[in-house]
Structure 1
């Protein structure tokens, strides 16, 4: 590996580390749901608000991300994002109310644009043969961050249950969720420092007429001859875009014009399907999801840790193969496998029954000093909704939430193996396909003149869907039940599969300029019209 390639990898790794911070921020909250709900006496929608607040914040950030990236540069945008992550993490740990916690997490959501900006930056510095791997590193960092969060949450939960002086002295037993959220602070500070060591994007420099500086940056990534060729290609591409990025309104008009209709439809479908199949409901509420299987709280946290490990393994597999097999096979076959896995979960939950025996009710009543459960003795419920509603009516909502994991573990009769295989299969398929490949495609299919608007806009679309999935998952769990939720996710995946089969191109081993010529050629325009 020569110095130029090493420098490309260094810059890509530093920028992609923002995905690690994102993964931490997104998944650490999964372990805190039950503690925060109990401390602040939250309703289903309030729980959803805490978890989804970053997803709401990113909606606003993405509206101006394109402008900041085009006017001030990708590098400065990343520095601002890193600072927002730090501010959000500190404020979340210190939150003294539901409102303060939601506000702090909203600020963190402003930093979630790190994914789209990172994809943009890496796509603009990476050689064509390495671009797929390097952009997909964002997804590796996300899943490593998710896994680290699940592992940290599990360790903190286990430590909080120890009867030791140091646990009490550190407040692990009384401030468990605050320790979980504090994990993010140090990595975010490290990322902010590392970002000062990366150069500005050469394509942004050309767009702003800093040709000599762009040439110097390119020579850090390529040989002098390759740098000259790349610079000429970039200049030609910029000239096609009137020598500067189009304004936001001009970019939007161009994006949905007949010439770029195919790229816009690909972006629209990828942005919606990646999120509407429920990935963030499963990842951000992982312990809650596994409690529905009847695993109990500690086992549910452990299964969440397994989810993280599966995510890492299959994302690494996708990164190793995305430039060898291509983008299209990974997405099409991965989405098919994920949809089948979701249907498995739906079927297993639809066959589940819930019943408490006299011995279980007697033991639970003695342990927790609760009353009113006698009329539930040996009563079989055919859905989790009926069972939960009856429990809440007899012991109260607050008591039910405090012991939901234990009660579901005692009462649930379900094919747990089928559900676990289905969930793990979906997680594996997602991280082998549409998870990392979406960002690769976003970095490739949009012309330079509209990229600063297009990537954040379709990332905004994905974020809107993600926000809705996160916000309403607790409410859906209480009113629809697990079976219908997984059915909805599976149908959404099937629709996305059909659409992408018809329109998704192959872009491996092509320069961004070659992809532009392919997607926006007269033949393409005629075929789409």
Structure 2
């Protein structure tokens, strides 16, 4: 086999792992949207129970994201990814077979652990990919996520006609992709960077050589060894005075990314359409498929524009568009003179489009850029944990807020969008076109 063929096979396997892991993440997250109306009916869920069933995945994800980094440092990236695929598989089977609310909560918590742990895949891909393919391979994770969300909506729509227990088929459709993820991660080599941290330079060389050739692999090996020697970070370093504003910025953006109401719209979208437009379950789930298509299309658009238009302009325009969309949705639901189905889907779709092209992808680009190299992993992990906790709060509280505030909940989301604009304007720097070293010096001025 020639060197070019080995590189092609190597990159193809890494690409498949990135894509299918992202897909499993998105599918597991969004499949509850289609199952929720059937679960509420079959188990006679109260408002707070419904909120807990939908939101408890986020609590599991907070724990998973907190554990995945230390475990991958101790056991290796590949082993943690294989274990994550197994947890995805077990949670899908348990969810489909659940015969009471307790088992369902346990299975969705396990799914959350896997969702949180799955986010080490960008780290793995960045460490193992050839430099010329790194950007594309990392971006495949995001493509996989939005594809998984769209697939979940399509599954919910098609399975809705299977009867009162169609939710079992919805959860069960996560099994094939979990098996594919298990195979894809099982055949991956270990990260050469992790091998070097364990002193296993010979194995690291065996991983790098087929990709770069012996000479270039030797140079890359020395570069990684020097970088590893320079890195020595503690969690306490996150709170150093010089980078305090970097941490505050990252945490605020992480919280903002979920408190604007995106998962309330994504996960409760069919319920909103059924409540506001009086549509049946199948019609509401068909609307969710359209929502998934919009999310997919504008996520692709974001990938093409983020390095051309800049992070800050997209964030500001996106938040303005989301705020207006929420106000229009609030007005539409509050105006009893309009027909029930008149124009309800449009503001939901515009909200998702503005989110997908701005806050959705940009939050993690900025968070990955603003922290100094030696604490970037710890900084991103803290932001991720806080994001999942905030997401749990929003998705758990949304049914209760709808019950207490009615349509006014969308007015609250609009207010959060405005607050986000007021924070970003003075405090979030533009990082487009700047090196990581230049960005690091911003916080010490």
> Common fold, TM-score beyond 0.5?
yes
Question: d(CA) in 1 for partners of 2:160 and 2:104?
Answer: 20
Question: d(CA) in 2 for partners of 1:293 and 1:327?
Answer: 34
Residue 507 of structure 1, CA deviation: 4.8
Which protein is richer in helix relative to its size?
2
Residue 267 (structure 2) pairs with residue 284 (structure 1): yes
Deviations 1:353-391, CA, capped at 9 Å, x for gaps: 28xxxxxxxxxxxxxxxxxxxxxxxxxxxxxxxxxxxxx
CA gap 1:128/1:443 in 2 versus in 1, 3 angstroms: farther
Deviations 1:42-90, CA, capped at 9 Å, x for gaps: 1000011111121121222233222102211222221111111111111
Calculate the aligned-residue CA RMSD, in Å.
2.7
Counterpart for residue 470 of structure 1: 395
CA gap 1:118/1:332 in 2 versus in 1, 3 angstroms: farther
2:149 to 146, 149, 154: 146
Deviations 1:240-280, CA, capped at 9 Å, x for gaps: 224xxx3xxx2x21112123324323321221111111111
Counterpart for residue 519 of structure 1: 439
Which segment drifts farther, 275-284 or 111-120?
Answer: 111-120
Counterpart for residue 347 of structure 1: 331
Q: Unaligned 5+ residue runs, structure 1?
A: 161-172, 355-411
Deviations 1:301-332, CA, capped at 9 Å, x for gaps: 11101001111111122223334444444434
CA gap 1:79/1:497 in 2 versus in 1, 3 angstroms: farther
Between structure 1 and structure 2, the one with the greater Rg is 1
Residue 506 of structure 1, CA deviation: 4.9
Say whether the 8 Å CA contact 1:263–1:445 is kept in structure 2. yes
Question: d(CA) in 1 for partners of 2:383 and 2:212?
Answer: 30
Counterpart for residue 367 of structure 1: none
Correspondences of 1:376-391 after superposition (within 5 Å): none
CA gap 1:475/1:126 in 2 versus in 1, 3 angstroms: same
Question: d(CA) in 2 for partners of 1:215 and 1:89?
Answer: 38
Question: d(CA) in 2 for partners of 1:493 and 1:337?
Answer: 9
1:24 to 24, 27, 35: 27
Residue 461 of structure 1, CA deviation: 0.9
Question: d(CA) in 2 for partners of 1:283 and 1:309?
Answer: 12
Residue 18 (structure 2) pairs with residue 34 (structure 1): no
Say whether the 8 Å CA contact 1:65–1:456 is kept in structure 2. no
Question: d(CA) in 2 for partners of 1:138 and 1:63?
Answer: 20
Question: d(CA) in 1 for partners of 2:11 and 2:310?
Answer: 21
Correspondences of 1:84-103 after superposition (within 5 Å): 84-103=87-106
Q: Unaligned 5+ residue runs, structure 2?
A: none
Which segment drifts farther, 276-285 or 25-34?
Answer: 25-34
Which segment drifts farther, 177-186 or 54-63?
Answer: 54-63
Residue 124 of structure 1, CA deviation: 3.0
Deviations 1:95-140, CA, capped at 9 Å, x for gaps: 1111111111111111111443122223334566755543332222
Question: d(CA) in 2 for partners of 1:458 and 1:74?
Answer: 20
Counterpart for residue 78 of structure 1: 81
Say whether the 8 Å CA contact 1:137–1:319 is kept in structure 2. no
Deviations 1:405-455, CA, capped at 9 Å, x for gaps: xxxxxxx745832x4222111111111122123333444444453344332
Counterpart for residue 360 of structure 1: none
Say whether the 8 Å CA contact 1:82–1:188 is kept in structure 2. yes
TM-score with structure 2 length normalisation?
Answer: 0.90
